[in-house]
Structure 1
Amino acid sequence: MKNILLPTDFSKNSKNAIKYALKFFEGEKCTFHILNSQKPSNYITADVLYGAPGTSVYEGILNDNKKELEKLIQFCKSISEGEEFTFVPTVDFDNIVDAVNQAVALNNIELIIMGSNGATGAAEVIFGSNTLKIIRKVECPIIVIPEGYAFEKINSVLLSLNYQYDVANKSFNIISEIVKKNNASLKILEIEEESLELSSQRNHAEEVFKEIGFERFSIKNIPASMAINAFEQLIPVQLHAMIVERKSFFDRFIFGSETSKINYGSLVPLLVLHE
C-alpha cells in the first residue's frame, strides 16, 4: 500500500491537487494522509473575539478544521467510489515545513502532492511560498499541480537533466515506475549550462531506462526556463520531472535568488526529486 501526503489549506487549488492525486492513483491501493497545518502565530484577534464561550482559541480552530477535513474526505470518497483508498485526516499546530516533515517520517510517506498556490493573501497560507519551503526543506518526492490544471492521462513524461551532477538510481527508478504504470513514453531533455564531458552520465541514464526506452533532446546556451517552457508547448507531455540538488543548476533554476516565487511556471504537473 502506498502512503501519499496531501497538504491542504482548504483552498480551491489544494482541492484541485487532491482531485489530481485521486485520478493519478486510480486502480492502486493507497492511504491518503490529508494534512492541514496551522501555525499558532496565524491566529488573529477575530479568532479570540468570536471564539465560543468556554473554549480556547486552539480548540475552536481545531474543531473547525476537523469539520472541514471531514467534509473534504466525504468529497474524496464521493469521487473515488470503487477504489481501494483510505483517507486519514490530520490537523497540526505547526509551521508547514515541520508539519510535513513529521507526517513524512511518521507515516512512511512516498510522495507529496500539493497545489502551487493558496487560499488567501495571508503570509503563511500562500501555497506558492509554502511549496517552495517544502521543496527546499523536505526530502521527499513532490508533485506540484499548477493552478486550475485538470488531470490528463499520462502518455508522455519529460525528464529535464543537467549532467553536471550524478543522479542516484532512486530518482530514476521513481520516474521509471510512473512511465511503466502509465505505459507512457519518456523524453529526456539535456540542458547544458556549460561544456562538459557527458559520456558517463549519459551511459548511466541509458542503462537505467533501457527497458522502457526514451527519446533524447539536447539544448545548449539557452536559459533553462525558456527552453523547458518552449519544449512543453511544442511537444505534449503530461508530467515534467526534475531532479534538484542543493546549489545545483536546477536549484537555481527553480528558486532563483532569494525570492518567494518559483521562477519556472510549469504548464503541467512538476515532479521534484531530491539528490
Structure 2
Amino acid sequence: MRKIIIPTDFSENAFNALRYAAELFKYERSEFYVLHAYADEVYNFEGVITQDFLEEYKATVKEKCSRELENVISRIKELYSNPKHSFHPIPAFGLLIDEVNDLAEKENADLIITSTRGATNDRKLTFGSNTLQIIKYVQCPVLSIPENYQFSDPKRILFPTNYLLPYQRRELKLVGGIARSFCSEIHMLYVSRFAEETLRQRDNKEAILQQFYDLKLHDHHEKEMEKTQAIEKMIDNLHIDLLILVNSRHSYLENILYTSTIDKIGLHPKIPFLVLQNFYRL
C-alpha cells in the first residue's frame, strides 16, 4: 500500500500534480492524503482580531477548506475511477512545511507529490518557494510536477550519481517499483574525470544494483562536462521522462537548494523531478 501526500493550494498546477499521482500509481493500491494548510489564510485577515473572533474565523476557514478539498477529490474521482485508490481530505491549521512533515511522519508516507509552482505561479522561477521548502526540509521523497505537464509513462529514468552516497533501501525500492510498473529503463549517469575506483563507490553502486537487479540499466560516464550540462544533455538526447536526484549534505542537489535561487545553477527540468532524501526512515 502506497501512502502519498499531495499538498494543494487549489490551483490548477496543484490539481495537475494530483492527476499525475493518480496516473503514476494506477497499478498499485494507494492512499492519497490531499492536504491544505490554512494558517496563513487566517492570519492574513485584514482587521482587528479578538480571540473570540479568531476561533470563529478559524472554524469558518476550515469549513471552506474542507468543502474545497472535497470538490478536488470528487473531481479526481470523476477523472480516474480506480478501485485501488482512496483519498483523504486533510484541512490543517498550521504552516505548510510543518503540516506536510508531521503528516509524512504520522502516516509513514512513501512520497510527497507537488507542483513545481502553485497559485502565485511566478514563471521567472523554476520552483516555487513552498516546493523548495518541502524539498529542503521534509524527510520524505518529493516528486515535483512542472506546470501543464501531461502524464506519459516514465519509460526512461535518469539517475545521476557519484556513487559516494549510501542511498536508503526504502527509497531505492520506490524508484524500482515505479520502474517495474512501467517496464522503464534506468540510465545511471556518473559525471567525473575519474573512474569509479574507491571501495565506497563500489559498495554503494552494488547496493543500488541489488535493488534494481531485474531492471534494464544503462551506465553513462561523462568526463569533462559540468553536472548541469551533462544532466540536461542526457534529458534531451535520451528523451528522459523522470529525473532523480538526492538531497544530502554536500550533494549536487544541496548546492542547488542552498543557492539564493535555484535558477542561478541553470537546471530547469521540464520533466517530473524526484528528490530522494538521504535520511534514515523506517
Matching residue within 215, 218, 228 for 2:218: 215
Matching residue within 232, 236, 258 for 1:233: 236
Q: Structure 1's 94 and 216: CA in aligned 2 closer, same or farther, altered over 3 A?
A: same
Q: Structure 1's 260 and 184: CA in aligned 2 closer, same or farther, altered over 3 A?
A: closer
The answer as to whether partners of 2:27 and 2:181 remain within 8 angstroms in 1 is no
Distance (Å, rounded) in 2 between the aligned partners of 1:193 and 1:179 = 29
One-letter identity of the residue aligned with 2:273:
L
Aligned CA-pair RMSD: 2.7
**Partner of 1:5: helix, strand, or coil?**
strand
The answer as to whether partners of 1:171 and 1:243 remain within 8 angstroms in 2 is no
**Partner of 2:216: helix, strand, or coil?**
coil
Q: Structure 1's 55 and 202: CA in aligned 2 closer, same or farther, altered over 3 A?
A: closer
Task: Quote the residue 1:266 is aligned against.
Answer: 269
Distance (Å, rounded) in 1 between the aligned partners of 2:69 and 2:48 = 22
Output one character per residue of 1:26-85: Cα deviation in whole Å (capped at 9) or x when no partner.
Answer: 132211100001234763345879xxx998221221121111111101101101114321
Task: Quote the residue 2:107 is aligned against.
Answer: 107
Structure 1 segment 184-195 matched on structure 2, within 5 A? 184-192=184-192
Report runs of 4+ in structure 1 exceeding 6 Å deviation: 193-196
Structure 1 segment 9-88 matched on structure 2, within 5 A? 9-40=9-40, 43-46=43-46, 56-88=56-88
**Partner of 1:56: helix, strand, or coil?**
helix
Task: Quote the residue 1:257 is aligned against.
Answer: 259
Report the TM-score, using the length of structure 2 for normalisation: 0.85
One-letter identity of the residue aligned with 2:175:
I
Report the TM-score, using the length of structure 1 for normalisation: 0.87
Q: Structure 1's 222 and 60: CA in aligned 2 closer, same or farther, altered over 3 A?
A: same
1:99 Cα deviation (Å)? 0.4
Task: Quote the residue 2:93 is aligned against.
Answer: 93
Distance (Å, rounded) in 1 between the aligned partners of 2:194 and 2:132 = 26
One-letter identity of the residue aligned with 1:266:
P
Matched, 1:247 2:274: no
Distance (Å, rounded) in 1 between the aligned partners of 2:159 and 2:169 = 14
Distance (Å, rounded) in 1 between the aligned partners of 2:42 and 2:232 = 36
Output one character per residue of 1:74-121: Cα deviation in whole Å (capped at 9) or x when no partner.
Answer: 101101114321111011111111100111122221111110001027
Task: Quote the residue 1:140 is aligned against.
Answer: 140
**Partner of 1:242: helix, strand, or coil?**
strand
The farther-off stretch of 160-169 and 258-267 is: 258-267
Distance (Å, rounded) in 2 between the aligned partners of 1:82 and 1:269 = 23
Ranges in structure 1 where 5+ consecutive residues have no aligned partner: none
Task: Quote the residue 2:167 is aligned against.
Answer: 167
Distance (Å, rounded) in 2 between the aligned partners of 1:183 and 1:38 = 40
Q: Structure 1's 236 and 34: CA in aligned 2 closer, same or farther, altered over 3 A?
A: same
